[in-house]
Structures are given as C-alpha cells and as structure tokens.
Amino acid sequence: MKFTTAIYTLALAFILCIGGAKAQELRFNSNHKFKIVQFTDVHWIYDDPKSEEAAERMCEVLDAEKPDLVVYTGDVIFAKPAAKALDRALEPVIERGIPFAVTWGNHDDEHDMTRAQLSAYIQQKRGNLTSHTEGISGQTNYTLSVMSSDGKRDAAVLYIFDSNSYSSNEKVKGYDWIKHDQVAWYIEQSKAFTAKNGGTPLPALAFFHIPLPEMYYSTTNQNIYMVGTRKEMVCAPEINTGLASAMLSAGDVMGVFVGHDHVNDYVVDWYGILMGYGRFTGGKTVYHDIPQGNGARVIELTEGSRDIHTWIRIKDGKVINEVNFPADAE
C-alpha cells in the first residue's frame, strides 16, 4: 500500500512538473489587483545580436512591473531553429518564475516547427499555462480563470484565441480569420462562466495576434476615443466572422488586446469594449520605427470591477499612454 501511494505521488509530481504551471492558480492579490504584461511581436532570431534589444526591454519591464501573468500575443520567433529561439524569447519570464501564456502569430510556424509542435515544446516550461482545445480551428484556443483574492470563486476570465495565419481560400487574399467554430466555442465558454457566476457575466479580456476588422472600422470614426500611436494601417483579415459582435452580446469581454502591426499601440473604445494593440516588444530583426522604441503593454484589473487600467512601459522605465477605461472615455 505504501509502495503504491509512493508511486502515485511520484507520478502526480511528474505530471505537475511537465505541465509547467498548469497547477498554479491565478488569483487577485490581497489588494484586489491582477496585473498582466503583454509582450507582442518579439520576433526572436536565435544567435542574432539584434534580438537582444527585446530581451533587455522584457527584463526591464518585468522587474519594474512584477506582473501576475505574462501573455505573448504571437510572432514570438522569426527564424529557425525555432526551439532555441523560443528558449531565449521565453527566458526572461521563466527565470523570474512568472506564469505565462502564449498564442501564436502568422510567423511562428514558418520555420522548422508546426504550431502543434511549438505548443508541445513549451509544455515542459516552468510557468507555462498555454493550452489547447480539441475539435476547433487553431492551436491556441483556451481560457484562463483568475480566482478571487480569497480563492473561493472565479473572479475574471481570460480568453486566448488562435487568430491563425494566412487565408487558405484562393478567393480571399491576405490574413486568415478567427473561424466560426472558434466563435461558437467562445459563446459556449462565456455562457458557462456566466451561469456559474449566477447569471452575471464575469469580467473578461481576450488576447490574440491579428486584429479584428472592427479595429479598422473604429479608426474611421473621427469622434471615437483613441489613445496611443497609430502609424500604419490595420492589417486585419478581409472576412469578419462575428467574434466582436458575439462579445458585445455576451457582455463579458471588457478589452481585446492584439499585436501584429508593429507601429500601432493605440486603444479605442468600440461600443464599450476597449480594443487595443500591445506595444511592439521585439528588437531590430524586423521593421521597428515606433516612436520611443520597443516596450510592453501593462493591463491591471480590479477585483469586482469592470474597469481596465492600462499603460505602456518603454525604455528606462518610462510610462506612457495611461488609460482608465471606461472612465476616460466617458
């Protein structure tokens, strides 16, 4: 009996170990705050000194902010060997013991590993929360619950989507889109979280790589609330499958954060949802002329509130583009 118990204990420890931080609970702290750092478009090239600018900025941001979670919103790597590039791109977070989640961009699987292989590779990493939902399009569709400060209930939810890469329909050029089955999955998840919360939608955020078409539509409104840098056209897919309208109907998602467009870092108020870019985090391995250089978006939630406090942190600890939403947009 003792032998069996010992074997079971070792097996469980092994499962938890290889699962990274999946057994680790995300939770609002005793001050009822939960802080997320978004790194996007790191575009790491292994053994290329130009990537070191990204590492320097990530380390600087992490040490200043001390987040509860880091989310990488795609284009983490930009050349083979993919595994070694991933090791270096994730290193600043892992060596600090911070939980992290990843979704892939359109460039991550262009080298020597598929999306599935990339996801499998990082499963062993300490702090990894990246997951996969079977039966729907894409590799990185999953949810992360943030528990209340007392640990008794779900207090917020993070939806991570795979925005895929390039259109496979010869009639539609450009980038791929979030598919109908992914939208249906979101609706089901949202309903389940709402029901579990007694019929009240949980405060929620969404993260993925390629912006939604609504990001483009919103910029055509001259009276819209907008904060941040806009130096390039929104590179969204041509096809709109209704994810934003599903979020609006569900009433849970307060903010949507993407990457992809390196010299945009603005946020806009789209019918009460804060839609925004992260700050380009990479080095000089790709185009990179956003004013004041690379950095990261920081997002802070308050337990029991639907408010978003967000800002950009750049070189030398400077903070810019601070927003309190929805208060600042009213």
* pLDDT score at 24: 81
Q: Does domain 24-329 have CATH number 3.40.640.10?
A: no
pLDDT grade for 178, boundaries at 50, 70 and 90: very high
Q: Which token pair is 173?
A: 């050029």
Beta bridge partners of 297: 38, 312
* pLDDT score at 298: 99
Q: Which token pair is 8?
A: 């079971």
Report the alpha-carbon distance of residue 170 to residue 155 in Å, rounded: 43
pTM, full prediction = 0.93
Domain spans of the chain?
A: 24-329
Taking the CB of residue 140, how many other CB atoms lie within 10 A of it? Answer: 25
Q: Residues 131-147: what's their mean pLDDT?
A: 98
Q: Residues 1-6: what's their mean pLDDT?
A: 38
pLDDT of 271 higher than 60: yes
* pLDDT score at 270: 95
Peptide bond between residue 49 and the one before it cis (omega within 30 degrees of 0): no
253, 194 contact by CB (below 8 A): no
